[in-house]
Amino acid sequence: MSNYSAPLKDMQFVLNELAGLDKVAQLPGYEEATADVVEAILDEAGKFAGGVLAPLNRIGDQVGAKWKDKAVTMPAGFGEAYQQFVDNGWNSLGCNPEHGGQGLPKVVAAAVQEMWKSANMAFSLCPLLTLGATEALELCGSPEQKHMYLPKMVSGEWTGTMNLTEPQAGSDLAAIRSRAVPVGDGTYKIFGNKIFITYGDHDMTANSIHLVLARTPDAPEGVKGISLFVVPKFMVKADGSLGERNDAYCVSIEHKLGIHASPTCVMAFGDNGGAIGTLVGKENEGLKYMFVMMNAARFSVGLEGLAIGERAYQKAVAYARDRVQCRAIEGSPAPVAIIQHPDIRRMLMEMRSRVEAMRALAYTVAAAHDTAARHPDAAERAKNQAFVDLMIPVVKGWSTETGNELAYLGVQVHGGMGFIEETGAAQYLRDARITTIYEGTTGIQANDLIGRKTAREGGSTLKAVIALLQQTQAAVAQQTGAEFAAIGKALATGIEAVSRAGHYIVANFGSDVRGVSAGAVPFLRLMGIVCGGWMMARAALVAQAKIATGDPDPFFAAKITTARYFADHALAAAPGLAQEIVEGGASTLALPEIMF
Q: Nearest approach, Cβ of 90 to other proteins (angstroms)? A: 6
Q: Please, which residue, 80 or 343, has the CB nearer to other proteins?
A: 80
Q: Nearest approach, Cβ of 530 to other proteins (angstroms)? A: 31
Q: Under the criterion CB under 8 A, does residue 8 sit at the interface with other proteins?
A: yes
SS3 category, 470:
helix
Q: Under the criterion CB under 8 A, does residue 40 sit at the interface with other proteins?
A: yes
Stretch that binds other proteins, among 28-36, 144-152, 184-192, 273-281 (CB under 8 A): 28-36
Do 549 and 469 meet the contact criterion of CB atoms below 8 Å apart?
no
Beta bridge partners of 229: 212, 279
Q: Under the criterion CB under 8 A, does residue 51 sit at the interface with other proteins?
A: yes
Q: Please, which residue, 291 or 555, has the CB nearer to other proteins?
A: 555
Which residues fall within 8 angstroms of residue 339, CB to CB, at 6 or more apart? 317, 320, 321, 345, 348
Would strands 159-163 and 208-214 be described as parallel, antiparallel, or unpaired? Answer: parallel
Q: Under the criterion CB under 8 A, does residue 550 sit at the interface with other proteins?
A: no
Q: Please, which residue, 3 or 471, has the CB nearer to other proteins?
A: 3
Member of 346, 553, 583, 586 binding other proteins (CB under 8 A) = 553
Do 504 and 520 meet the contact criterion of CB atoms below 8 Å apart?
no
Q: Nearest approach, Cβ of 42 to other proteins (angstroms)? A: 10
Q: Please, which residue, 113 or 461, has the CB nearer to other proteins?
A: 113
Q: Under the criterion CB under 8 A, does residue 539 sit at the interface with other proteins?
A: no
Member of 13, 30, 48, 199 binding other proteins (CB under 8 A) = 48
Q: Please, which residue, 100 or 132, has the CB nearer to other proteins?
A: 100
Q: Under the criterion CB under 8 A, does residue 34 sit at the interface with other proteins?
A: yes
Q: How far apart are CA 156 and CA 36, in angstroms?
A: 26
Half-sphere exposure of residue 290, counting CA atoms within 13 Å on the CB side? 23
Q: Nearest approach, Cβ of 32 to other proteins (angstroms)? A: 6
Member of 32, 203, 271, 283 binding other proteins (CB under 8 A) = 32
Which residues fall within 8 angstroms of residue 299, CB to CB, at 6 or more apart? 110, 362, 365, 366, 369, 392, 395, 396
Q: Nearest approach, Cβ of 548 to other proteins (angstroms)? A: 17
From residue 145, how far is each of 215, 291, 312, 378 by CA, in Å? 20, 20, 42, 31
The region, left, alpha or beta by phi > 0 then psi within -120 to 50, assigned to residue 188 is beta
Q: What is the DSSP string of 110-151?
A: HHHHHHHHHH-HHHHHHHHHHHHHHHHHHHH--HHHHHHHHH
Q: Under the criterion CB under 8 A, does residue 102 sit at the interface with other proteins?
A: yes
Q: Under the criterion CB under 8 A, does residue 508 sit at the interface with other proteins?
A: no
Tell me how crowded residue 162 is: count the other CB atoms within 10 A of its CB.
26
Q: Under the criterion CB under 8 A, does residue 52 sit at the interface with other proteins?
A: yes
| Residue type present at position 265 | C
Q: Please, which residue, 45 or 190, has the CB nearer to other proteins?
A: 45
Q: Under the criterion CB under 8 A, does residue 272 sit at the interface with other proteins?
A: no
Do 391 and 365 meet the contact criterion of CB atoms below 8 Å apart?
yes
From residue 565, how far is each of 345, 540, 562, 569, 588 by CA, in Å? 11, 11, 5, 6, 32
Tell me how crowded residue 281 is: count the other CB atoms within 10 A of its CB.
18
Q: Under the criterion CB under 8 A, does residue 116 sit at the interface with other proteins?
A: no
Q: Under the criterion CB under 8 A, does residue 182 sit at the interface with other proteins?
A: no
Q: How far apart are CA 220 and CA 110, in angstroms?
A: 38
Q: Which of 439, 440, 433, 401 has its CA nearest to residue 132? A: 439
Do 180 and 229 meet the contact criterion of CB atoms below 8 Å apart?
yes
Q: Please, which residue, 92 or 442, has the CB nearer to other proteins?
A: 92
User: Which x/- pattern, by CB under 8 A, does the window 370-399 give for other proteins?
Assistant: ------------------------------
Stretch that binds other proteins, among 69-77, 337-345, 401-409, 551-559 (CB under 8 A): 551-559
Q: Please, which residue, 34 or 587, has the CB nearer to other proteins?
A: 34
Active centre residues (catalytic): 439
Q: Under the criterion CB under 8 A, does residue 445 sit at the interface with other proteins?
A: no
Q: Under the criterion CB under 8 A, does residue 507 sit at the interface with other proteins?
A: no
Q: Under the criterion CB under 8 A, does residue 39 sit at the interface with other proteins?
A: yes
Q: Write out the binding residues for other proteins, residues 54-93 only, by CB under 8 A.
A: 84, 87-90, 92-93
Q: What is the DSSP string of 30-67?
A: -TT--HHHHHHHHHHHHHHIIIIIGGGHHHHHHH--EE
**What residues make contact with other proteins under the rule CB under 8 A?**
5, 8-9, 32, 34, 36-37, 39-41, 43-44, 47-48, 51-52, 84, 87-90, 92-93, 102, 552-555
